[in-house]
Amino acid sequence: MARKKIIAGNWKMNMTPSEAVKLVAELEPLVKNDAVDVVYCVPAIDIVPVVEAVKGSNVQVGAENMYFEESGAYTGEISAAMLVDAGVKYVIIGHSERRDYFKEDDALLNKKVKKAIASGLTPILCCGESLEQREMGVTMDWIRFQIKSDLVDVTADQVKDIVIAYEPIWAIGTGKTATTEQAEEVCKGIRECIAQMYDQATADAVRIQYGGSVNAGNAAELFAQPNIDGGLVGGASLKADFGKIVCY
Ligand code: PEP
């Protein structure tokens, strides 16, 4: 069964609500490609206007984060129910910036993954090694650890529908892309890990993105790899180049 590619922009902490609406309008004619799923993962404050702005187009909206509790005294947090009610379909969980700057650990991320799934959101679960880990030769050990910890108590049927984003930390926002071979090798390793944890059918169904300095020039070669089912795109998702990536 062919997996539909999914190309998601991660806007990070960029774009005020009015800038966001302008960007959606500018990108609208450039990102028309029904052969792939297109997602804009946007800052929380941009969600409502961006959901409105993409109405009638092929673009779906994702959040960059959420909290796992249902509701209550968690000042500053946003719940899965709030995202669903606002029209959000996807949520990035465990981006390396959240793991690093906000000290989100795998136990917390596992709770977020389970809550997102239970609420009907599709998690885009991020994993990836540091440069030090790559140089030490422990890349796949580390990524298996992240995947196994983040998916505790998640069933095969649920895993089939999630998205996993392999994002080597040393390639994020640095302009340094992993080589096609490096990216494919790890995405293949992630699929093998899912096959071991669950079964081959689950591994064959799950979509695995590559992220890390994807741009208009390297997208086609990366997305042509057998185990790379699209990309999570930071910097290049904020400009017209995103259209070239989506229509690679
Ligand atoms: C990201 O933020 O997920 C990312 C991959 O960023 P960039 O494309 O800018 O490296």
Identify whether 181 is a catalytic site residue. Answer: no
Q: How far is the CA of 74 from the centre of ligand 1 (A)?
A: 28
Taking 70 as the threshold, does the pLDDT of residue 1 lie above it? no
Mind listing the pLDDT tens digit for each residue in 19-49? 999 999 999 999 999 999 999 999 999 999 9
Give CA–CA dist 100/128, Å, rounded: 12
pLDDT score, position 243: 98
pTM, entire model: 0.97
Mind listing the pLDDT tens digit for each residue in 91-149? 999 999 999 999 999 999 999 999 999 999 999 999 999 999 999 999 999 999 999 99
Considering only CA atoms, which residue is closest to atom 7 of ligand 1?
Answer: 234
pLDDT score, position 76: 97
Mind listing the pLDDT tens digit for each residue in 193-248? 999 999 999 999 999 999 999 999 999 999 999 999 999 999 999 999 999 999 99
Task: Tell which one of 14, 214, 245 to mutate to probe ligand 1, the residue whose CB is within 8 A of the most ligand atoms.
Answer: 214
Q: Is 105 helix (H, G, I), strand (E, B) or coil?
A: coil
Taking 90 as the threshold, does the pLDDT of residue 157 lie above it? yes
Mind listing the pLDDT tens digit for each residue in 170-184? 999 888 889 999 999
pLDDT score, position 155: 98
Identify whether 95 is a catalytic site residue. Answer: yes
Q: Show the ligand 1 pocket: residues with CB < 6 angstroms.
A: 10, 12, 167, 172-173, 211-214, 232-236
92 CA closest ligand 1 atom index: 3
Proportion of the chain in helix, strand, coil states, percent, rounded to 5: 45, 15, 40
Considering only CA atoms, which residue is closest to atom 3 of ligand 1?
Answer: 234
pLDDT score, position 148: 98
Which of 95, 97, 104, 184 is labelled catalytic?
A: 95
Q: Is the dihedral of CA 157, 143, 237, 207 positive or negative?
A: negative
Pick the closest to residue 56 from 82, 87, 10 (CA basis).
Answer: 87
